[in-house]
Amino acid sequence: RFGTAAAAEEPISPSVQVGETQLLINGKFVDAASGKTFPTLDPRTGEVIARVSEGDAEDVDRAVVAARKAFDEGPWPKMTAYERSRILLRFADLIEKHNDEIAALETWDNGKPYEQAAHIEVPMLARLMRYYAGWTDKIHGLIVPADGPHHVQVLHEPIGVVGQIIPWNFPLLMYGWKVGPALACGNTIVLKTAEQTPLSALYVSKLLHEAGLPEGVLNIISGFGPTAGAALAGHMDVDKIAFTGSTDTGKVILELSARSNLKAVTLELGGKSPFIVMDDADIDQAVELAHFALFFNQGQCCCAGSRTFVHERVYDEFVEKSKARALKRVVGDPFRKGVEQGPQIDDEQFKKILRYIKSGVDSGATLVTGGDKLGDKGYYIQPTIFSDVQDDMKIAQEEIFGPVQSIFKFNDLNEVIKRANASQYGLAAGVFTNNLDTANTLTRALRAGTIWVNCFDIFDAAIPFGGYKMSGIGREKGIDSLKNYLQVKAVVTALKNPAW
Ligand code: NAD
């Protein structure tokens, strides 16, 4: 129990075990070639949960060899689409069967509330797998009515060996967004997890093999970015790389592709998403949603509504009510019932967020509530709100990735459109209004990959997600995600008898 937060209820005690800690290569859990390991820490205390094998270039190479063999020799790409679908469906059943253990592991390694992991994220992973299981036998090509005496087919083929690099904020969901479409399309995979959160991907990948995935189709490398991650992005025998993380690292990934074999690249990067509250909105609802849009997952969301723009007519009321809501936010041990906010992921992020808070104060924003760490152990931060934030402040421009809400004042629709779009990012936007015309104007004018109107963070498996501008390249989830994992082959055959 911390600071001003209300008391959390009794602890939940799910059974939780570490599970696998080695690399997964060619269907087997193995040590790193170097024999090295690294610790993964509990964000509640900073204590070591387990030591995990540390993959490096040599292990990435072993994994790519296994994935190449599984792609070239099968059985995966040559299996019937129906059989691939059934493996993904069995995997979804196993995820559901082990829901509580998986959720507990995710909370232990990441610090997110157990109730969120158990009721939202693990069920969403199962849902994603069923969604992609449904696609396997619906991916097919076209016959094209080209000019001339030719029979023209367009084939959609798996792209080959796919490299995937994921972040620590949603370890399981990022795994699902990447592995689901790649497998549905018949590719083989080498996936590198984030060094902060290696455990849940190893756990569920074991279940995927129990569900019948052939060896070599999915290889998991735990390890660090500049070593294992860079080796994967720069590998000459990887056909495609999909990355989620910071914009700076996204640029490195593009460079590594360019300097190696020009592998196809998709990127899901940072954001500084506007959340716009018009004066006709239901203010209580808007306050609650803006709070959720920013504070969900400890503020560690790429699409967090981190620029709350509020119409001047309702501004003072909005700030007061947002303060009251933040003071009620229950921060504490994520294994306790009723806790809404756990610790930040690690010491580095914790210190970075505190530096941003100091920068907000120094640049003259009004600190409405919070502004400090919470407790003496682990990486807890008070729910923090700044008002009177100006567009040129650092906290208005850079991704804080923590529980820090910045509230801006506006008085005109055209003005807020310009200011909302004046960002290097374009991942998402929230629009809160009861006026249809205002909603339509905003949704057309805002340059972002997702616009949520009178809602936020709706993540159905069928809805595409991705960024404009420096928030990324390509889309994940939905039909569009399949395009990332397919090659297109045109087959043009001369017709001897064009009459038919
Ligand atoms: P990051 O981009 O450094 O890490 C993301 C992944 O990339 C990890 O798996 C990491 O090991 C890997 N990586 C790092 N350097 C690499 C390299 N040179 N080559 C290949 N792979 C590499 O992100 P971070 O350091 O964990 O977090 C820093 C900031 O990134 C956060 O403060 C936040 O702003 C942002 N972030 C965004 C998202 C998102 O979903 N958009 C997720 C996590 C972090």
| ipTM computed for the complex | 0.94
Site to probe by mutation for ligand 1, drawn from 246, 260, 427, 459 as the one with most ligand atoms within 8 Å of Cβ, is: 246
Burial class (CB in 10 A: 0-12, 13-18, 19+), 138: exposed
Q: Which two tokens stand for residue 74?
A: 């099968």
Closest C-alpha residue for ligand 1 atom 40: 302
Do residues 303 and 294 lie in contact, with contact meaning Cβ atoms separated by under 8 Å? no
Q: SS3 of 292, please?
A: helix
Residues that are catalytic: 268, 302
What are the pLDDT digits (tens) for 274-319?
999 999 999 999 999 999 999 999 999 999 999 999 999 999 999 9
What are the pLDDT digits (tens) for 78-130?
899 999 999 999 999 999 999 999 999 999 999 999 999 999 999 999 999 99
pLDDT of 15 over the 80 cut? no
- Angle, helices 99-110 vs 81-97, to 10°: value is 70
What residues have CB less than 8 Å from 351, skipping those under 6 apart? Answer: none
Determine what percent of the chain falls in helix, strand and coil, rounding each to the nearest 5: 40, 20, 40
Ligand 1 within 6 A of CB of 195: yes
For residue 153, the Cα-to-chain-centroid distance in whole angstroms is 36
Q: How far apart are CA 402 and CA 111, in angstroms?
A: 13
Amino acid at 260: S
**How many CB atoms within 10 Å of residue 331?**
27
What are the pLDDT digits (tens) for 143-167?
999 998 999 999 999 999 999 999 9
What are the DSSP calls for 3-39, one per residue?
Answer: TTSPPP-PBP---------SEEETTEEE--TT--EEE
Do residues 228 and 59 lie in contact, with contact meaning Cβ atoms separated by under 8 Å? yes
Site to probe by mutation for ligand 1, drawn from 52, 56, 110, 165 as the one with most ligand atoms within 8 Å of Cβ, is: 165
Ligand 1 within 6 A of CB of 449: no
Ligand 1 within 6 A of CB of 470: no
Q: What integer pLDDT is reported at residue 14 of this predicted model?
A: 66
Q: What integer pLDDT is reported at residue 178 of this predicted model?
A: 98
Confidence of residue 497 (pLDDT cuts 50, 70, 90): confident
pTM of the model: 0.97
CB-based burial, 204-214: b 16+ in 10 Å, e otherwise: bbbbbbebebe
Ligand 1 within 6 A of CB of 269: yes
Q: What integer pLDDT is reported at residue 77 of this predicted model?
A: 82
Q: Closest ligand 1 atom, CA of 249?
A: 2
